[in-house]
Chains A and B, each alone.
Chain A
Amino acid sequence: MTQLMNENGIRCDGRRVDQLRNISIKVGVLKNADGSAYIEFGKNKILAGVFGPRDVHPKHMANQDSGILRCRYHMSPFSVTERKNPAPSRREIEISKVIKEALLPAVILKDFPRTVVDVFIEVLQADGGTRCAALDAASLALADAGIPMRDLVSACAAGKVADQIVLDINNEEDQEGQADMPIAYMPNLGKITLMQLDGILTPAEYQKCVQTGINGCKLVYEIQRKALMDKYFTNEAQ
Protein backbone atom coordinates (compact mmCIF):
# COMPACT_ATOMS: atom_id res chain seq x y z
CA MET A 1 0.00 0.00 0.00
CA THR A 2 1.33 3.44 -0.99
CA GLN A 3 1.98 5.94 1.79
CA LEU A 4 -0.45 8.71 0.85
CA MET A 5 0.94 11.38 3.16
CA ASN A 6 4.16 11.75 5.13
CA GLU A 7 4.59 13.12 8.65
CA ASN A 8 5.16 16.66 7.26
CA GLY A 9 1.76 16.67 5.56
CA ILE A 10 3.24 16.22 2.08
CA ARG A 11 1.22 14.00 -0.24
CA CYS A 12 2.47 11.10 -2.36
CA ASP A 13 3.00 13.35 -5.41
CA GLY A 14 4.80 16.04 -3.38
CA ARG A 15 1.87 18.45 -3.00
CA ARG A 16 0.58 20.14 0.13
CA VAL A 17 -2.97 19.37 1.30
CA ASP A 18 -4.39 22.53 -0.24
CA GLN A 19 -2.42 22.48 -3.48
CA LEU A 20 -3.78 21.81 -6.97
CA ARG A 21 -1.93 19.81 -9.59
CA ASN A 22 -0.42 21.81 -12.48
CA ILE A 23 -3.13 22.93 -14.88
CA SER A 24 -2.74 24.18 -18.42
CA ILE A 25 -5.64 24.96 -20.73
CA LYS A 26 -5.83 25.88 -24.39
CA VAL A 27 -9.03 27.07 -26.05
CA GLY A 28 -9.98 26.70 -29.73
CA VAL A 29 -7.86 23.69 -30.62
CA LEU A 30 -10.23 21.92 -33.05
CA LYS A 31 -10.85 23.45 -36.47
CA ASN A 32 -14.05 21.56 -37.22
CA ALA A 33 -15.72 22.12 -33.85
CA ASP A 34 -17.73 25.25 -33.07
CA GLY A 35 -15.89 25.46 -29.77
CA SER A 36 -13.14 23.38 -28.19
CA ALA A 37 -10.70 23.21 -25.33
CA TYR A 38 -7.78 21.04 -24.26
CA ILE A 39 -6.85 20.67 -20.63
CA GLU A 40 -3.90 19.12 -18.86
CA PHE A 41 -4.86 18.67 -15.22
CA GLY A 42 -1.85 17.03 -13.60
CA LYS A 43 -1.36 13.91 -15.71
CA ASN A 44 -4.92 14.06 -17.09
CA LYS A 45 -5.12 15.06 -20.74
CA ILE A 46 -8.62 15.81 -21.97
CA LEU A 47 -10.06 17.25 -25.16
CA ALA A 48 -13.57 18.74 -25.37
CA GLY A 49 -15.40 19.74 -28.53
CA VAL A 50 -18.74 21.50 -28.85
CA PHE A 51 -20.92 21.25 -31.96
CA GLY A 52 -24.02 23.33 -32.38
CA PRO A 53 -26.59 24.69 -32.03
CA ARG A 54 -27.51 22.31 -34.83
CA ASP A 55 -30.37 20.19 -36.10
CA VAL A 56 -31.52 17.49 -33.65
CA HIS A 57 -31.32 13.84 -34.67
CA PRO A 58 -33.38 11.85 -33.77
CA LYS A 59 -36.07 14.49 -34.30
CA HIS A 60 -38.26 13.31 -31.40
CA MET A 61 -35.60 14.59 -28.97
CA ALA A 62 -36.15 18.19 -30.12
CA ASN A 63 -37.71 20.61 -27.66
CA GLN A 64 -40.02 23.27 -29.13
CA ASP A 65 -39.31 25.79 -26.38
CA SER A 66 -35.57 25.49 -25.96
CA GLY A 67 -32.43 23.84 -27.24
CA ILE A 68 -31.15 20.66 -25.64
CA LEU A 69 -27.70 19.75 -24.35
CA ARG A 70 -26.10 16.36 -24.97
CA CYS A 71 -22.82 15.20 -23.47
CA ARG A 72 -20.62 12.27 -24.34
CA TYR A 73 -17.72 11.51 -22.02
CA HIS A 74 -15.42 8.88 -23.46
CA MET A 75 -12.11 7.40 -22.34
CA SER A 76 -9.74 6.40 -25.11
CA PRO A 77 -8.57 2.77 -25.01
CA PHE A 78 -5.01 4.02 -24.39
CA SER A 79 -5.94 6.50 -21.64
CA VAL A 80 -5.30 4.04 -18.80
CA THR A 81 -2.52 1.51 -18.11
CA GLU A 82 -4.60 -1.51 -19.10
CA ARG A 83 -6.47 -1.18 -22.42
CA LYS A 84 -10.02 0.04 -21.96
CA ASN A 85 -12.80 -1.30 -24.14
CA PRO A 86 -13.80 1.65 -26.37
CA ALA A 87 -17.52 0.85 -26.04
CA PRO A 88 -19.32 3.20 -23.60
CA SER A 89 -19.15 1.67 -20.13
CA ARG A 90 -21.64 2.10 -17.30
CA ARG A 91 -19.23 4.56 -15.67
CA GLU A 92 -18.85 6.65 -18.84
CA ILE A 93 -22.62 6.80 -19.33
CA GLU A 94 -23.03 7.97 -15.73
CA ILE A 95 -20.28 10.58 -16.02
CA SER A 96 -21.79 11.85 -19.30
CA LYS A 97 -25.05 12.33 -17.42
CA VAL A 98 -23.54 14.11 -14.42
CA ILE A 99 -21.47 16.40 -16.66
CA LYS A 100 -24.59 17.32 -18.64
CA GLU A 101 -26.47 18.03 -15.42
CA ALA A 102 -23.58 20.11 -14.08
CA LEU A 103 -23.48 22.25 -17.23
CA LEU A 104 -27.25 22.69 -17.63
CA PRO A 105 -27.68 25.35 -14.89
CA ALA A 106 -25.06 27.46 -16.67
CA VAL A 107 -26.14 27.30 -20.31
CA ILE A 108 -29.02 29.37 -21.71
CA LEU A 109 -30.58 27.51 -24.64
CA LYS A 110 -33.99 29.18 -24.84
CA ASP A 111 -32.90 31.20 -27.89
CA PHE A 112 -32.18 28.03 -29.86
CA PRO A 113 -35.44 26.03 -29.93
CA ARG A 114 -35.46 22.67 -31.76
CA THR A 115 -31.68 22.55 -31.79
CA VAL A 116 -29.05 20.57 -29.93
CA VAL A 117 -25.66 21.49 -28.52
CA ASP A 118 -23.42 18.43 -28.48
CA VAL A 119 -20.46 18.26 -26.11
CA PHE A 120 -17.91 15.55 -26.87
CA ILE A 121 -15.27 14.85 -24.24
CA GLU A 122 -12.37 12.58 -25.00
CA VAL A 123 -10.05 11.51 -22.18
CA LEU A 124 -6.65 10.92 -23.76
CA GLN A 125 -4.82 10.20 -20.51
CA ALA A 126 -6.42 9.56 -17.12
CA ASP A 127 -4.96 10.06 -13.66
CA GLY A 128 -7.88 10.55 -11.27
CA GLY A 129 -10.32 13.46 -11.29
CA THR A 130 -11.17 13.18 -14.99
CA ARG A 131 -14.81 14.22 -14.50
CA CYS A 132 -13.75 17.52 -12.95
CA ALA A 133 -11.09 18.17 -15.59
CA ALA A 134 -13.58 17.20 -18.31
CA LEU A 135 -16.14 19.64 -16.89
CA ASP A 136 -13.57 22.44 -16.88
CA ALA A 137 -12.73 21.78 -20.53
CA ALA A 138 -16.38 21.36 -21.56
CA SER A 139 -17.35 24.65 -19.93
CA LEU A 140 -14.62 26.50 -21.83
CA ALA A 141 -15.53 24.77 -25.10
CA LEU A 142 -19.16 25.91 -24.66
CA ALA A 143 -18.05 29.49 -24.05
CA ASP A 144 -15.72 29.24 -27.06
CA ALA A 145 -18.67 28.10 -29.23
CA GLY A 146 -20.55 31.28 -28.30
CA ILE A 147 -23.25 29.47 -26.33
CA PRO A 148 -24.79 31.91 -23.83
CA MET A 149 -23.85 30.95 -20.27
CA ARG A 150 -24.76 32.42 -16.91
CA ASP A 151 -21.25 31.66 -15.69
CA LEU A 152 -18.32 29.40 -16.43
CA VAL A 153 -18.43 26.09 -14.59
CA SER A 154 -15.27 25.27 -12.67
CA ALA A 155 -14.78 21.87 -11.12
CA CYS A 156 -12.34 20.39 -8.67
CA ALA A 157 -12.39 17.47 -6.27
CA ALA A 158 -11.63 17.43 -2.57
CA GLY A 159 -11.33 14.36 -0.41
CA LYS A 160 -10.10 12.68 2.72
CA VAL A 161 -6.67 11.10 2.71
CA ALA A 162 -4.80 9.85 5.79
CA ASP A 163 -7.52 11.43 7.99
CA GLN A 164 -6.97 14.85 6.45
CA ILE A 165 -9.11 16.86 4.02
CA VAL A 166 -7.10 17.45 0.87
CA LEU A 167 -7.68 19.32 -2.37
CA ASP A 168 -7.64 17.77 -5.85
CA ILE A 169 -7.06 14.10 -5.21
CA ASN A 170 -5.02 12.12 -7.73
CA ASN A 171 -5.39 8.52 -8.88
CA GLU A 172 -3.57 6.90 -5.91
CA GLU A 173 -5.52 9.00 -3.42
CA ASP A 174 -8.74 8.17 -5.25
CA GLN A 175 -8.02 4.42 -5.11
CA GLU A 176 -6.72 4.24 -1.55
CA GLY A 177 -8.07 7.36 0.15
CA GLN A 178 -11.04 7.54 2.51
CA ALA A 179 -13.35 9.90 0.59
CA ASP A 180 -13.67 11.67 -2.78
CA MET A 181 -15.94 14.66 -3.38
CA PRO A 182 -16.04 16.15 -6.92
CA ILE A 183 -17.56 19.64 -6.93
CA ALA A 184 -18.57 21.85 -9.86
CA TYR A 185 -19.19 25.48 -9.06
CA MET A 186 -20.22 28.70 -10.77
CA PRO A 187 -17.79 31.12 -9.11
CA ASN A 188 -19.46 34.43 -10.01
CA LEU A 189 -22.91 33.26 -8.95
CA GLY A 190 -21.64 31.21 -6.00
CA LYS A 191 -23.70 28.15 -6.93
CA ILE A 192 -22.76 24.49 -6.83
CA THR A 193 -23.90 22.57 -9.93
CA LEU A 194 -22.42 19.18 -9.09
CA MET A 195 -21.52 17.51 -5.83
CA GLN A 196 -20.88 13.82 -5.39
CA LEU A 197 -19.42 12.00 -2.43
CA ASP A 198 -17.81 8.60 -2.36
CA GLY A 199 -16.79 7.77 1.23
CA ILE A 200 -17.77 8.59 4.79
CA LEU A 201 -17.22 12.00 6.40
CA THR A 202 -18.28 13.49 9.71
CA PRO A 203 -20.43 16.68 9.50
CA ALA A 204 -17.37 18.82 10.31
CA GLU A 205 -15.24 17.05 7.72
CA TYR A 206 -18.04 17.41 5.20
CA GLN A 207 -18.18 21.18 5.74
CA LYS A 208 -14.42 21.47 5.41
CA CYS A 209 -14.39 19.25 2.32
CA VAL A 210 -17.04 21.38 0.57
CA GLN A 211 -15.15 24.58 1.41
CA THR A 212 -11.86 23.09 0.23
CA GLY A 213 -13.49 21.97 -3.04
CA ILE A 214 -15.01 25.42 -3.62
CA ASN A 215 -11.64 27.07 -2.98
CA GLY A 216 -10.14 24.71 -5.54
CA CYS A 217 -12.86 25.62 -8.07
CA LYS A 218 -12.04 29.30 -7.58
CA LEU A 219 -8.37 28.60 -8.34
CA VAL A 220 -9.34 26.61 -11.45
CA TYR A 221 -11.64 29.46 -12.54
CA GLU A 222 -8.72 31.89 -12.66
CA ILE A 223 -6.85 29.53 -15.00
CA GLN A 224 -9.97 29.05 -17.17
CA ARG A 225 -10.39 32.81 -17.35
CA LYS A 226 -6.81 33.33 -18.39
CA ALA A 227 -7.16 30.72 -21.16
CA LEU A 228 -10.19 32.53 -22.62
CA MET A 229 -8.58 35.94 -22.24
CA ASP A 230 -5.43 34.68 -23.98
CA LYS A 231 -7.43 33.43 -26.94
CA TYR A 232 -9.87 36.29 -27.40
CA PHE A 233 -8.21 39.41 -26.10
CA THR A 234 -4.43 39.02 -25.89
CA ASN A 235 -3.99 38.33 -29.64
CA GLU A 236 -6.37 41.16 -30.46
CA ALA A 237 -4.32 43.56 -28.38
CA GLN A 238 -1.10 42.42 -30.07
Chain B
Amino acid sequence: MSEKPSLPGDKIATIEEFETGINTFDDGHTIRSVVIGTSNFDKTNRIAKINQIKTPAVPQVNDLVIGNVSALMNNMFAVVILYINGKPTHSGLECICQAKGAKKRIMVRVSDIIMVKIISHLNGAIHATISEPELGVLFTQCNQCAGKVVTIGGNVKCVDCGYIEERKLSSKFGNSDFIKLGSK
Protein backbone atom coordinates (compact mmCIF):
# COMPACT_ATOMS: atom_id res chain seq x y z
CA MET B 1 0.00 0.00 0.00
CA SER B 2 2.88 2.43 0.71
CA GLU B 3 5.44 3.87 -1.75
CA LYS B 4 2.99 3.52 -4.63
CA PRO B 5 3.52 6.00 -7.49
CA SER B 6 0.83 8.68 -7.54
CA LEU B 7 -0.11 11.35 -10.04
CA PRO B 8 -2.40 14.36 -9.45
CA GLY B 9 -5.97 13.16 -8.95
CA ASP B 10 -5.06 9.58 -8.12
CA LYS B 11 -7.07 7.95 -5.37
CA ILE B 12 -4.81 6.95 -2.50
CA ALA B 13 -7.27 6.17 0.31
CA THR B 14 -10.80 6.79 1.54
CA ILE B 15 -11.74 9.26 4.28
CA GLU B 16 -12.92 6.40 6.49
CA GLU B 17 -9.39 4.97 6.53
CA PHE B 18 -7.13 8.04 6.76
CA GLU B 19 -7.00 11.80 7.16
CA THR B 20 -5.45 14.06 4.55
CA GLY B 21 -1.77 14.84 5.00
CA ILE B 22 0.80 16.75 2.96
CA ASN B 23 0.11 16.94 -0.79
CA THR B 24 -3.33 15.37 -0.57
CA PHE B 25 -6.93 16.56 -0.60
CA ASP B 26 -10.28 14.94 -0.09
CA ASP B 27 -13.15 15.25 -2.53
CA GLY B 28 -15.80 14.32 0.03
CA HIS B 29 -15.23 10.59 0.15
CA THR B 30 -11.79 9.89 -1.32
CA ILE B 31 -8.29 11.11 -0.48
CA ARG B 32 -6.43 12.04 -3.62
CA SER B 33 -2.90 13.07 -4.49
CA VAL B 34 -2.25 16.61 -5.72
CA VAL B 35 1.33 16.10 -6.93
CA ILE B 36 3.57 13.54 -8.57
CA GLY B 37 5.15 11.38 -5.90
CA THR B 38 4.88 8.26 -3.84
CA SER B 39 2.16 7.64 -1.29
CA ASN B 40 3.05 7.22 2.35
CA PHE B 41 0.74 6.17 5.16
CA ASP B 42 1.22 6.99 8.83
CA LYS B 43 -0.73 4.10 10.29
CA THR B 44 -0.31 5.29 13.88
CA ASN B 45 -1.91 8.69 13.30
CA ARG B 46 -3.97 7.50 10.31
CA ILE B 47 -2.61 10.17 7.95
CA ALA B 48 -2.07 9.68 4.23
CA LYS B 49 0.53 11.85 2.50
CA ILE B 50 2.52 12.04 -0.71
CA ASN B 51 6.30 12.38 -0.87
CA GLN B 52 6.65 14.87 -3.72
CA ILE B 53 9.36 14.17 -6.29
CA LYS B 54 9.78 17.70 -7.65
CA THR B 55 8.96 20.64 -5.39
CA PRO B 56 8.34 24.22 -6.57
CA ALA B 57 11.06 26.75 -5.71
CA VAL B 58 9.23 28.28 -2.76
CA PRO B 59 11.10 27.96 0.56
CA GLN B 60 9.42 26.07 3.37
CA VAL B 61 9.70 26.61 7.11
CA ASN B 62 13.22 25.81 8.45
CA ASP B 63 14.80 26.08 5.00
CA LEU B 64 18.13 27.94 4.88
CA VAL B 65 18.07 30.67 2.28
CA ILE B 66 20.88 32.75 0.84
CA GLY B 67 19.82 36.02 -0.72
CA ASN B 68 20.51 39.58 -1.57
CA VAL B 69 19.22 42.38 0.69
CA SER B 70 16.94 44.41 -1.56
CA ALA B 71 15.34 46.90 0.81
CA LEU B 72 15.93 48.20 4.30
CA MET B 73 13.07 49.53 6.40
CA ASN B 74 12.84 50.69 10.02
CA ASN B 75 12.11 47.33 11.61
CA MET B 76 12.62 44.87 8.81
CA PHE B 77 14.47 44.20 5.62
CA ALA B 78 13.63 42.36 2.42
CA VAL B 79 15.80 39.64 0.92
CA VAL B 80 15.62 38.44 -2.68
CA ILE B 81 15.99 34.66 -2.55
CA LEU B 82 18.90 33.30 -4.59
CA TYR B 83 19.52 29.86 -3.05
CA ILE B 84 17.24 27.54 -1.11
CA ASN B 85 19.19 24.94 0.90
CA GLY B 86 22.13 25.47 -1.47
CA LYS B 87 20.07 25.05 -4.65
CA PRO B 88 19.94 28.10 -6.96
CA THR B 89 16.54 29.55 -7.82
CA HIS B 90 15.47 32.18 -10.32
CA SER B 91 11.98 32.70 -8.92
CA GLY B 92 12.79 36.25 -7.75
CA LEU B 93 10.72 35.73 -4.59
CA GLU B 94 11.41 37.87 -1.53
CA CYS B 95 11.32 37.11 2.16
CA ILE B 96 10.99 39.54 5.04
CA CYS B 97 13.27 39.60 8.06
CA GLN B 98 12.03 41.21 11.27
CA ALA B 99 14.91 43.03 12.97
CA LYS B 100 14.07 45.71 15.49
CA GLY B 101 16.07 48.87 14.89
CA ALA B 102 17.50 47.49 11.65
CA LYS B 103 18.23 50.97 10.42
CA LYS B 104 19.85 52.26 13.63
CA ARG B 105 22.06 49.25 14.41
CA ILE B 106 22.96 48.49 10.79
CA MET B 107 22.59 44.73 10.85
CA VAL B 108 22.66 44.58 7.08
CA ARG B 109 23.02 46.96 4.16
CA VAL B 110 21.24 46.89 0.81
CA SER B 111 22.98 44.45 -1.58
CA ASP B 112 24.68 42.44 1.20
CA ILE B 113 24.60 38.68 0.66
CA ILE B 114 23.03 37.10 3.74
CA MET B 115 21.88 33.75 5.02
CA VAL B 116 18.45 33.57 6.68
CA LYS B 117 16.21 30.83 8.02
CA ILE B 118 12.53 30.69 7.06
CA ILE B 119 10.29 30.78 10.13
CA SER B 120 6.78 31.15 8.71
CA HIS B 121 4.45 31.92 5.83
CA LEU B 122 2.16 34.60 7.20
CA ASN B 123 -0.29 36.99 5.51
CA GLY B 124 1.04 36.12 2.09
CA ALA B 125 4.65 36.93 3.03
CA ILE B 126 7.59 34.65 3.71
CA HIS B 127 9.10 35.51 7.10
CA ALA B 128 12.70 34.76 7.99
CA THR B 129 15.14 35.29 10.85
CA ILE B 130 18.87 36.01 11.23
CA SER B 131 19.03 35.45 14.99
CA GLU B 132 21.21 32.34 14.98
CA PRO B 133 25.03 32.30 14.91
CA GLU B 134 25.34 30.88 11.38
CA LEU B 135 22.74 33.32 10.02
CA GLY B 136 23.56 36.85 8.92
CA VAL B 137 25.89 38.56 6.49
CA LEU B 138 28.03 36.27 4.33
CA PHE B 139 29.48 38.93 2.08
CA THR B 140 29.57 42.71 2.16
CA GLN B 141 31.63 45.62 0.92
CA CYS B 142 32.71 48.93 2.43
CA ASN B 143 29.84 51.38 2.49
CA GLN B 144 32.22 54.27 1.70
CA CYS B 145 34.53 52.97 -1.03
CA ALA B 146 33.11 49.52 -1.93
CA GLY B 147 36.43 48.01 -0.90
CA LYS B 148 37.09 44.64 0.68
CA VAL B 149 36.27 44.35 4.38
CA VAL B 150 37.62 42.25 7.24
CA THR B 151 35.97 41.43 10.57
CA ILE B 152 36.89 43.22 13.76
CA GLY B 153 34.85 41.73 16.60
CA GLY B 154 31.27 41.99 15.43
CA ASN B 155 32.06 44.78 12.99
CA VAL B 156 33.64 45.02 9.57
CA LYS B 157 36.58 47.24 8.64
CA CYS B 158 37.54 48.30 5.14
CA VAL B 159 41.10 47.31 4.25
CA ASP B 160 41.41 50.29 1.87
CA CYS B 161 39.91 53.28 3.70
CA GLY B 162 39.72 51.92 7.27
CA TYR B 163 35.99 52.68 7.63
CA ILE B 164 34.40 50.58 10.39
CA GLU B 165 30.75 49.61 10.33
CA GLU B 166 28.45 47.31 12.31
CA ARG B 167 26.91 44.14 10.82
CA LYS B 168 25.15 41.01 12.05
CA LEU B 169 27.77 38.66 10.65
CA SER B 170 27.25 34.98 10.02
CA SER B 171 29.69 32.57 11.61
CA LYS B 172 30.46 31.62 7.98
CA PHE B 173 31.41 35.20 7.02
CA GLY B 174 34.51 35.18 4.84
CA ASN B 175 34.67 31.41 4.47
CA SER B 176 31.28 30.68 2.97
CA ASP B 177 31.27 28.81 -0.32
CA PHE B 178 28.10 30.53 -1.57
CA ILE B 179 29.98 31.82 -4.64
CA LYS B 180 30.63 28.22 -5.69
CA LEU B 181 26.97 27.26 -5.19
CA GLY B 182 26.00 28.72 -8.55
CA SER B 183 28.17 26.22 -10.42
CA LYS B 184 26.41 23.23 -8.80
Contact = CB atoms under 8 A, between A and B. Distances in A.
Contacts of B93: 53-55, 115
Interface string A109-134: 00111110000000000000000000
Given A112-B56, A228-B36, A150 B9 contact: yes
Q: Give the dominant DSSP class at B's interface.
A: loop
Nearest to B80: A55
A152 B32 CA distance: 12
Contacts of A111: 58, 121
A145 interface: yes
B32 A150 contact: yes
A145 B54 contact: yes
Interface residues of A, number: 34
Contacts of A115: 58, 91, 93
A49 interface: no
A144 B8 contact: no
B9 A64 contact: no
B41 to A, nearest CB: 19
A147 interface: yes
Contacts of A149: 8-9, 34-35
B24 to A, nearest CB: 10
A122 B184 CA distance: 30
Interface residues of B, number: 29
A28 B35 CA distance: 15
Q: Give the dominant DSSP class at A's interface.
A: loop
B109 to A, nearest CB: 22
A37 interface: no
B8 A143 contact: yes
A114 B7 CA distance: 26
A189 B27 contact: yes
B55 interface: yes
B112 interface: no
Contact of A145 (B32, B56, B124): B56
A159 interface: no
A12 interface: no
Contacts of B11: 188
Contacts of B125: 113-114
Most A C-beta atoms less than 10 A away, residue of B23, B53, B94: B53
Interface string B1-40: 0000101111100000000000101010000101110000
A146 B7 contact: no
A207 B84 CA distance: 51
Contacts of A151: 8-9, 32
Contact of A52 (B7, B8, B56, B94): B56
Interface string B99-124: 00000000000000000000001011
B153 interface: no
The 10 A-B pairs of least Cβ separation, nearest first, read A151-B9, A55-B92, A113-B124, A188-B9, A149-B8, A148-B34, A54-B91, A64-B124, A146-B54, A233-B5
